[in-house]
Structure 1
Amino acid sequence: MPVSILVQPSASSIGSVDAHRVEDALSLIAPKWTTWSAQTLAQQGHPMRVRDVAARLSFISEHLVGKRLAQMHADGLVTRADDRRGAPYQLSALGDSLSRVHRALSDWSQTNLSLGAIAGAERVEDAVRRLHLRHSTAVIQVLDTGGPMRFVRIAEEAGLDNSLTQQRLNRLQADGLVARTGPRHGDPYILTDAGRALGPVYAAIEHWSNAATRKRSVPPAPATAATRTHTGVPLGADGIRTAAALRRNTAAPSALFSHAPQAQPRVLAAVTALSAASRGR
């Protein structure tokens, strides 16, 4: 069925954001389980060892939790008092400030995507997976400014080669952000309602990226045991979509989830099945 070509202007300007800055910021929070780890640290409000974080995310192996926290430490999202083996982690000021980004991603997802019962952290990670690929933002900006638009014009305006443009359009279609105005080859592309609603999300990410740049320009403060603020999206705010989170058969603690998960297929296969078979990391 042809898609209506009526295009409404975005509530917030998508075209005004720095696409490279947005995508650089998204790359810091895109790795799987980053949001889960950050929100666990925020929810507990005190430094935690790897084994303590893993105990609250029992569907993730302790080894993987350790690798994720180590990468978050390298990226400045968490701190630790020293480099001793087993030293606890806590959110840095930069990690704390992810609250606005998490909230914007969660709100956008709840309004524009039909994901069913899903944990808040998984909702955020699902949204990031739809947005983080390099040059996706540029394609969305072009369509927001000038859609409906044919494929060749999109490539020209975004400054991308035809092959990469087609890859990004295919992925954005699979993720529900872009649509064709008709079934024929060469029919123009437009943003969907979900794509046009990304303005506040991009604004929040760019704002956080600017803060990240400022924080990285000064030496980090020593880690303390001060109480951390919550990152804004409860881990189990909407219930838990077990198929998207479960890696093992161990039940997750009830303090973080609305109900205990049951054994399900591997995470990426389940997430892909809910949106599109072509969507991956």
Structure 2
Amino acid sequence: MNPRETPDWPAVIPIDSFDAQRIEDAFSLMGPKWTTSSVMTMPQEGRPLRVRDVAARLPFVSEQLVSKRLVTMHADGLVLRTGPRHGDSYVLTDASRELGPVYAIVEHWSASLAKQWTPSPPVPVSTAQRTHSGIPLGSDGARTVAALCRSAAVPNSLFSHAPQPQPRVPTVVTAQSAPGRSR
């Protein structure tokens, strides 16, 4: 049986059994954010969709972002534009229609990885602690407090180093670097 047809692959796959660069190139086409969602959204209507139609079906995505993504997908050969005018609709190419089984396999493969990662429960923002108490709060108190607090929800182990107070910049230096009010 061909190792590409069975889910029980051998522990070692010969390096020449796949074209690694072609696989990387294919993933780079599918990889940009909202590409998969766009490809999965378009066939649900069964008709060509305009940018605003695709954007309406994707949560929290602007028409501008969808437009940019569809232009990129058009250049990559994943969608075709039905006409040359601005506002013309898009349809999937045969190549993008064939991505359905690929997405199914990747989803199946990633299921075991998703089970391994369990996020820690969120910690309320009220438990944030001010780490730099020696620095006076500015006129925009809420922003300054947010900038000077490190939430307990994020463990210090995620940072490359422990938080350190920043050295005070002399007033002479800040006076020189302040922008002038004249033109």
Per the alignment, do residues 64 and 10 of structure 1 end up closer, same or farther by CA in structure 2, a change over 3 Å counting? same
Q: Higher relative contact order by CA 8 Å / sep ≥ 6: 1 or 2?
A: 1
- Partner of residue 10, structure 1: 10
Cross-structure match for 2:101:
100
Asked if 1:82 is matched to 2:87, the reply is no
**Judging changes above 3 Å, is the alpha-carbon distance between structure 1 residues 9 and 30 closer, same or farther for their aligned structure 2 residues?**
closer
Q: In the alignment, residue 95 of structure 2 is paired with which amino acid? A: L
Range that drifts further, 30-39 or 40-49: 40-49
Identity fraction in percent: 47
Deviation digits for residues 29-63 of structure 1, max 9, x if unmatched? 11111001110002222100000111111311110
| Normalised TM-score (structure 2) | 0.55
TM-score if structure 1 supplies the norm length?
0.37
Give the AA of the match of 2:52: R
Counterpart of 1:53 in structure 2 is 54
| Distance (whole Å) between structure 2 residues aligned to residue 13 and residue 47 of structure 1 | 41
Seen in structure 2, the aligned counterparts of structure 1 residues 106 and 82 have a Cα distance that, compared at 3 Å, is: same
Rounded Cα–Cα distance in structure 1 between residues aligned with 2:81 and 2:35: 17
Shift of 1:12: 8.5
Cα gap change, 1:35/1:62 in structure 2, threshold over 3 Å: closer, same or farther?
Answer: same
CA distance in 2, matches of 1:91, 1:9: 32
Give 1:13's aligned amino acid. Answer: I
Which of 1 and 2 has greater Rg?
A: 2
Q: Give the Cα–Cα distance (whole angstroms) in 2 for the partners of residues 91 and 28 of structure 1.
A: 14
Residues of 1 paired with 2:101 and 2:9: CA distance? 23
User: How far does residue 90 in structure 1 lie from its aligned partner after superposition?
Assistant: 1.1
- Give the alignment's Cα RMSD to 1 decimal: 2.8
Query: Any gaps of 5 or more consecutive residues in structure 2?
Result: 1-7, 118-153, 160-183
Give the Å deviation of 1:112. Answer: 3.3
Which residue pairs with 2:166 in the alignment?
Answer: none
Match of 1:167 in 2: none
Cα shift at 1:111:
3.0
| Distance in 1 (alpha carbons) for counterparts of 2:82 and 2:98 | 20
CA deviations over 1:117-171 (Å, ceiling 9, x no partner)? xxxxxxxxxxxxxxxxxxxxxxxxxxxxxxxxxxxxxxxxxxxxxxxxxxxxxxx
User: How many Å separate the matches in 2 of 1:28 and 1:100?
Assistant: 16
Shift of 1:83: 1.5
Give the structure 2 partner of residue 265 of structure 1. Answer: none
Alignment of 1:206-245 (within 5 A): none
1:69 match: 70
The aligned residue for residue 39 of structure 1 is: 40
1:11, CA displacement in angstroms?
6.5
Output the CA distance in 2 between the equivalents of 1:92 and 1:41: 11
Summarize the alignment of residues 132-147 of structure 1 with structure 2, pairs less than 5 Å apart: none
- Measured after TM superposition, the shift of residue 113 of structure 1 is 2.6
Structure 1 residue runs without a partner (length 5+): 1-7, 117-272
The whole-number CA distance in structure 2 between the counterparts of 1:9 and 1:97 is: 23
Correspondence for 1:158: none
Tell me the amino acid that sits aligned with residue 68 of structure 1: R
Once the 2 structures are TM-superposed, how far is the Cα of residue 115 of structure 1 from its aligned partner? 7.5
**Aligned residue runs from structure 1 range 144-223, under 5 A:** none
1:114 alignment partner, SS class: helix
Q: Is the 8 A contact 2:82 2:91 kept in 1?
A: no
